Structure 1
Amino acid sequence: MGFRGEMVPVVSMAFCSLSQTVLIVRRRPHVVSGGGFVVTNYTQRVLFSVDGCGTLGNEGELLVKNGDGEPIISVRKKGGIVQSLSLQNQWRGYAGAGRPVFTLREPKHSLVNCKVKISVEPQQNSDWDFDLKGSFVDRECAIRDRRGNVVAQFKDLYNVVVQPGYDQAFVVGIIAILDNIHRESTRC
């Protein structure tokens, strides 16, 4: 029996699969290419790579590339006086020629089991489309859609299971932000 649900492209339909996909996340040491991480499939084929501050030189900026090394998502932490007065940190993901594709909001003071909300651009009728349940630090968390369906499940330090129809590039963009928030491989 094949996939019968709807496709949910956030970045592009090209990153949606008809079957469940296991992404294997491997961190690069900071001494190699400035840190970040590489995402492969089970045959070790590189699907995505993420560069952080060590490579880009700017804190709060991340770059998700496809397997060929071409940029697909630029992620920036929102800054400025409005952000400093806000109770939430905001990260925005941009695809292509600066087209906004998602916004991640997380409380500034509750990072262990925080209520992370993610909205897809352009925003629809709600203030969020996805959320994060569990602890990213313990790798016991999941990205869920508004209906409570699991989009991606973090199984352990290395494996992320993405359900059929969901955008894998979007999931990698979220992983990049969470990695940076928790001061891991993409952080300076």
Structure 2
Amino acid sequence: MTKIYPNAASSSSSPSPLSSSDDCKIGGDDPVVLTVWKKSLLLNCEGFTVFDPRGNLVYRVDNYMAAAKGHIFLMDASGATLLTIRRKKLSLGDTWLIFDGETAENPRYTVRKNVSLLNSRCLAHVFQKKSVPIYLIEGSYARRCCSVYDEKRRRVAEIKQKEASVTGVAFGKDVFRLEVQPGFDAAVAMGMVILLDQMYGSGRFI
């Protein structure tokens, strides 16, 4: 059987290679390729489990369905909250806020689902304290084929289907790759994955 998380059992005893301040320092100038599994490692939870190229647990999302109160926490391997994602209340369209840690003030980013039919490839716009978006997310989340572009149209992160190392074995849509370019915060990239799943996924946590 092809393993999704080869070192998950030992990840709790070894330090996580990524943190909210690392900004994708794995591999120096090379992109970081993470494996995202749309599954919580805890029972009775909805969420995500994310592993680095060595199979170490780096991020997790564990949302108890009965306890969800309009927010999602992105945690590191030890359970410390890196980002808090909240739906913006009383807003037009599907708008979300990304906060650092467990704060609920001064959001780091505002993410709006695209509702315009003029650019059907656009999935969402990401803002940071100004009316012009600093990131644009395009592609198809259903096919796990999305890219995040910055203001200069440089790809900073990409969602791709994951291919199994064993010929003839395929992962489903719940297991995919997140490729993050150097200089872009891997935690923020994972936060965008969470929001795409809320906006376009088959099921929502909250």
- On whether the aligned pair clears a TM of 0.5, the verdict is yes
1:62 and 2:94 aligned:
no
The answer for the alignment partner of 1:13 in structure 2 is 21
Q: Report if the CA contact (8 A) 1:39-1:47 is conserved.
A: yes
Q: How does 1:1-188 map to 2 (within 5 A)?
A: 12-17=20-25, 18=28, 19-28=30-39, 32-52=43-63, 54=65, 56-58=67-69, 60-80=70-90, 83=91, 86=92, 88-96=93-101, 97-98=103-104, 99-108=106-115, 113-120=121-128, 123-124=129-130, 126-156=131-161, 157=173, 158-184=176-202, 186-187=204-205
Change (3 A) 1:163 1:93: same
**What is the deviation of 1:93?**
0.5
Change (3 A) 1:187 1:132: same
After TM superposition, the runs of 4+ consecutive aligned structure 1 residues lying more than 4 A away are none
| Higher RCO (CA 8 Å, separation ≥ 6 residues) | 1
Q: TM-score, normalised by structure 1?
A: 0.78
What is the total number of aligned residue pairs between the two structures?
A: 168
**What is the deviation of 1:108?**
4.9
**What is the deviation of 1:35?**
1.1
Among all aligned residue pairs of Structure 1 and Structure 2, give the percentage whose two residues are the same amino acid.
23
Unaligned runs of 5+ in 1: 1-10
Q: Report if the CA contact (8 A) 2:61-2:73 is conserved.
A: yes
Code of the residue aligned with 1:106 in structure 2: it is K
Q: Report if the CA contact (8 A) 2:68-2:205 is conserved.
A: no
Higher helix fraction (1 or 2): 1
Change (3 A) 1:155 1:55: farther
Q: Report if the CA contact (8 A) 2:60-2:77 is conserved.
A: yes
Which whole-Å CA distance do the structure 2 matches of 1:184 and 1:75 have between them? 19
**What is the deviation of 1:140?**
1.3
Deviations 1:60-108, CA, capped at 9 Å, x for gaps: 421100121101111001122xx2xx2x311000113444211101135
Bigger CA radius of gyration? 2
Q: Report if the CA contact (8 A) 1:35-1:55 is conserved.
A: no
Which whole-Å CA distance do the structure 2 matches of 1:68 and 1:167 have between them? 18
**What is the deviation of 1:119?**
1.4
**What is the deviation of 1:39?**
0.7
Q: TM-score, normalised by structure 2?
A: 0.71
Which whole-Å CA distance do the structure 2 matches of 1:185 and 1:30 have between them? 18
Q: CA RMSD in A?
A: 2.6
